């Protein structure tokens, strides 16, 4: 009989690689499977907020290309620019091939078995779960689906689509030394550079990661908005440019995160933040939570599923649900929002930065207090 792993983790992004690290550290036999050969490029701005970094069980300085202690939020009104600064790196810049591979190696050090270049095609459920990959079958007691926005595992395990997947474009751009010097000193978010969304400029070691994302699925010409953003940044010459398009799930699933021995984490679950579309920190967090739930349940798969959903309700979902409501308002009510930003913007960016660095979470009554503020201003 072939070996049966305690847990098979599908996908070696931040969610899966940290889950594998934590599971292996807790003594569970763990296999980490990815369809790609590693390291692999991942379409992502690579802006990693400090709340994710501070909770990692190991130092990642080796794969950080730049650190920013300040962030800048631009709007399409020239008189509205918000800036904030902290004593910790609010955003660390990483390239995802290096970053993800770094965590995978940490998982291997703890005893996880890596099977790269193994694409999952089918799942069969019996006494154990059989993963049918293009390189052969693997047997396991539990499956952690960390296979990203498209999550074939969730589909194979019977989930329907209840997340909100938004379109985004990422460009890895080499510019002239003068432009790079000017633009590499700040990390900036440009709200309204695209309808219902924002553009970003994230400086890496030798290039800029520039991108645009819209929170609506409406027909929006992302490429045209990216070109306009280059103009807004004053980029005169593009030396080289690699374009990548993908989707970001910015609303959690509404039909649960566990069934039949399969757990969903990271983008597969829809855990990217709805306001910022920042998904790395919640991917890591859900990877840790699933490992905690599985380890606490001592082999009882149903108990592990119930415990995981409980931990999500306590530690992840309330903030995501608040963020979802704030995002609908923030991107949908441009006029009122900009009016409020002019008056209270410094407080807003300061609060968001505290969330980014993990000093506070979004208050669950935030929408109620926003509505109160609007009433006070109008009447
Ligand atoms: C344009 C863009 C910009 C972004 N910018 C940022 C940012 O700056 N900061 C931030 O925090 N977040 C950002 N995000 C979101 C972030 O990239 C994701 O939230 C994050 O990668 C989710 O991690 P994950 O581990 O859940 O999935 P992923 O990182 O997507 O990893 C999934 C893994 O599963 C593997 N896989 C898929 N199918 C199979 C299969 N059938 N068999 C085996 N393996 C499989 C894939 O090869 C991949 O390695 C951005 C996203 C996009 C699209």
Q: How far is CA 364 from the centre of its chain?
A: 21
Distance CA 353, CA 343 (A): 18
Mutate to test the pocket of ligand 1, among 22, 37, 44, 140 (most ligand atoms within 8 A of CB): 44
Q: Is the CB of 210 under 6 A from ligand 1?
A: no
Distance CA 262, CA 9 (A): 10
Distance CA 148, CA 11 (A): 7
Which sequence spans correspond to the domains of the chain? 4-65+92-163+252-319, 165-249, 329-372
Cα(267) to centroid(ligand 1), Å? 7
Domain covering 4-65+92-163+252-319 assigned CATH 3.20.20.70 in the classification? no
Mutate to test the pocket of ligand 1, among 272, 273, 356 (most ligand atoms within 8 A of CB): 272
Same CATH topology for 4-65+92-163+252-319 and 165-249: the answer is: no
Distance CA 230, CA 239 (A): 13
pLDDT in tens, 160-189: 999 999 999 999 999 999 999 999 999 999
pLDDT for the residue 350 = 92
Query: Do residues 24 and 30 touch, judged by C-beta distance below 8 A?
Result: yes
Distance CA 39, CA 45 (A): 17
pLDDT in tens, 9-34: 999 999 999 999 999 999 999 999 99
Ligand 1 atom nearest residue 52's Cα: 11
The CATH code of the domain at 165-249 is 3.30.9.10
Q: Is the CB of 305 under 6 A from ligand 1?
A: no
Q: In this structure, what are the phi and psi dihedrals at residue 260, rounded to the nearest 5 degrees? A: 45, 40
Q: Is the CB of 246 under 6 A from ligand 1?
A: yes
Residues of the chain below pLDDT 70: 1, 366-367, 369-370, 373-379
Mutate to test the pocket of ligand 1, among 164, 262, 283 (most ligand atoms within 8 A of CB): 283
Closest C-alpha residue for ligand 1 atom 10:
278
């Amino acid at each position: 009989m072939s070996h049966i792993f305690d847990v098979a983790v599908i996908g070696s992004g931040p969610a899966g690689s940290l889950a594998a690290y934590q599971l292996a550290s807790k003594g569970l036999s763990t296999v980490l499977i990815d369809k790609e050969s590693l390291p692999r490029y991942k379409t992502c701005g690579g802006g990693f907020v400090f709340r994710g970094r501070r909770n990692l069980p190991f130092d990642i300085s080796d794969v950080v290309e730049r650190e920013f202690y300040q962030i800048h939020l631009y709007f399409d009104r020239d008189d509205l620019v918000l800036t904030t600064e902290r004593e910790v790196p609010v955003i660390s810049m990483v390239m995802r091939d290096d970053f993800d591979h770094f965590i995978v190696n940490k998982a291997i050090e703890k005893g996880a078995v890596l099977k790269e270049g193994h694409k999952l095609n089918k799942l069969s459920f019996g006494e154990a779960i059989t993963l049918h990959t293009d390189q052969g079958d693997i047997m396991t007691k539990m499956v952690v689906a960390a296979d990203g926005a498209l999550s074939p595992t969730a589909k194979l395990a019977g989930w329907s689509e209840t997340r909100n997947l938004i379109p985004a474009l990422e460009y890895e751009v080499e510019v002239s030394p003068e432009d790079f010097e000017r633009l590499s000193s700040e990390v900036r978010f440009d709200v309204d550079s695209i309808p219902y969304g924002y553009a970003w400029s994230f400086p890496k070691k030798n290039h800029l990661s520039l991108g645009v994302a819209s929170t609506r699925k409406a027909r929006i010409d992302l490429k045209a908005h990216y070109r306009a953003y280059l103009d807004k940044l004053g980029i005169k010459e593009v030396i080289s440019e690699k374009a990548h398009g993908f989707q970001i799930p910015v609303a959690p699933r509404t039909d649960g995160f566990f069934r039949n021995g399969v757990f969903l984490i990271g983008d597969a679950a829809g855990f990217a933040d709805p306001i910022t579309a920042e998904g790395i920190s919640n991917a890591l967090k859900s990877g840790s939570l699933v490992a905690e739930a599985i380890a606490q349940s001592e082999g009882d798969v149903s108990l592990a599923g119930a415990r995981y959903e409980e931990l999500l309700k306590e530690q992840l979902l309330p903030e995501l649900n608040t963020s979802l409501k704030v995002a609908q308002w923030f991107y949908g009510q441009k006029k009122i929002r900009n009016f409020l930003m002019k008056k209270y913007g410094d407080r807003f960016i300061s609060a968001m930065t505290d969330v980014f660095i993990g000093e506070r979470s979004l208050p669950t009554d935030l929408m109620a207090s926003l509505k109160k503020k609007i009433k006070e201003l109008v009447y």
